[in-house]
Amino acid sequence: MYLLEGRVVSLASDDEQIDFLVVGGGAVGLLSAFLLAKEGLRIALVERQGTGEEASWAGGGIVSPLYPWRYSSAVTALAHWSQDFYPLLAEQLLAETGVDPEVHVTGLYWLDLDDEAEALAWAWREGRPLRAVGIDEVHGAVPGLGAGFSRAIYMAGVANVRNPRLTRALREALLRMPNVTLREHCPVQGFVQEAGRVVGVRTADEELRAERVVVAAGAWSGELLAGLGIELPVEPVKGQMILYKCAEDFLPSMVLAKGRYAIPRKDGHILVGSTLEHAGFDKRPTESALDSLKASAVELLPALADAEVVKHWAGLRPGSPEGIPYIGEVPAHPGLWLNCGHYRNGLVLAPASCRLLADLMLGREPIIDPSPYAPAGRLG
């Protein structure tokens, strides 16, 4: 191990050939590296900043798409697999690292939906435990809920994961693995190609070579691939959130109305989000968004009017068409693989996406049909 800008970094010996190199240290990149390293492969991960400092840190961590019935079957398949796997992943990471990702099962109430009938029909088709409930039942379960709502549906078993702790646990797990190289604050400037194959990446200081390269760089994936002439329709979509600190039992369940949600952490922190803004790579928080989020918070939970905002921040989601990620090899560039473009559902879909990637890279039977996510035919 060595120290880089205050961070302890595990480094395989320089004479070892890297099997797979992962570009991007968010939840998707970290988990991709973790699952591949578990197979005994020699893995390198490079991240332009510190790991887990972008969208993976900024999100709310609900282990469900906000409106799962509004997505395609491709997103649903990944979401269902991930939801079932998350508790096992959290237990494994806690046992290996001592860092608890805090998968917190609270259930989720959707309030005053315009498409409630469609939601219930979707749940029946998919076998998900979503049901209509009386508003009095909601007020009994969530005493702090505002009075302005009349209808609700509820799904038991929906969890949230404390995403900064998830990425911290994954980072710690990688540091403990002797077959993993982790390089932070190491921006990739381009790709190395030989004989028609992608065989590595270029940084400011060196070339890093590997048998295969995986791009999992979130909102920055499109810019990175543009250097190869690849048009990846992934763009940054800004989201802002605020955080309150309340009593641990203040909010027993997640609630969502008018596109805004409140998420309880186990220690009483309450996250309220989120905005949806097309502002390029500008992730500065704004006063207008703060005012809007506060208004939503008070509408959902009136007692928050007297609570202090502990923190206000913004992050950049990797926006993509229909929110369907790109998972697989790029046909025109052998050796180059993608695991990116998860839009609003990176944390939700990460376990299934990374397992599917590993299955494809290792030639195993995939957990689900990989064709909807294949880059072939979807890139410009």
Return the amino acid letter for 177.
Answer: M
Specify the pLDDT at position 232: 96
Give CA 277 to chain center in angstroms: 18
Residue 367 region by backbone torsions, left for phi larger than 0, else alpha for psi between -120 and 50, else beta: alpha
CA 263, 266, 270, 273 dihedral sign is: negative
Q: Which residues contact 43 (CB under 8 A, 6 or more apart)?
A: 18, 19, 20, 21, 22, 33, 36, 37, 174, 179, 180, 181
CA 47, 48, 51, 56 dihedral sign is: negative
In the chain, the domains with their CATH numbers are: 2-57+165-234+322-373 (3.50.50.60)
Q: Please write the tens of the pLDDT for every residue from 45-98.
A: 999 999 999 999 999 999 999 999 999 999 999 999 999 999 999 999 999 999
Specify the pLDDT at position 17: 83
pLDDT tens across the length of the chain (380 residues): 333 333 334 444 444 689 999 999 999 999 999 999 999 999 999 999 999 999 999 999 999 999 999 999 999 999 999 999 999 999 999 999 999 999 999 999 999 999 999 999 999 999 999 999 999 999 999 999 999 999 999 999 999 999 999 999 999 999 999 999 999 999 999 999 999 999 999 998 899 999 999 999 999 999 999 999 999 999 999 999 999 999 999 999 999 999 999 999 999 999 999 999 999 999 999 999 999 999 999 999 999 999 999 999 999 999 999 999 999 999 999 999 999 999 999 999 999 999 999 999 999 999 999 999 999 989 86
Q: Which residues contact 298 (CB under 8 A, 6 or more apart)?
A: 146, 304, 305
Q: Please write the tens of the pLDDT for every residue from 312-342.
A: 999 999 999 999 999 999 999 999 999 999 9
Q: Which residues contact 333 (CB under 8 A, 6 or more apart)?
A: 193, 197, 198, 228, 230
- Look up the pTM and report it: 0.93
Q: Could you tell me how many residues make up the chain?
A: 380
Q: Which residues contact 111 (CB under 8 A, 6 or more apart)?
A: 138, 149, 151, 152, 255, 256, 257
Rounded to whole angstroms, the Cα distance separating 262 from 253 reads 9
Specify the pLDDT at position 10: 40
Rounded to whole angstroms, the Cα distance separating 162 from 9 reads 23
Secondary structure (DSSP) of 286-314? -HHHHHHHHHHHHHH-GGGGGS-EEEEEE
At what angle are helices 73-97 and 163-175 packed, to 10 degrees?
A: 60
Cβ-contact 63, 344 below 8 angstroms: no
Q: Please write the tens of the pLDDT for every residue from 129-139.
A: 999 999 999 99
Residue 62 CB: number of other CB atoms within 10 A? 24
By the 10 Å C-beta count (0-12 exposed, 13-18 middle, 19+ buried), 164 is classed as middle
Specify the pLDDT at position 16: 61
CA 330, 335, 336, 339 dihedral sign is: positive
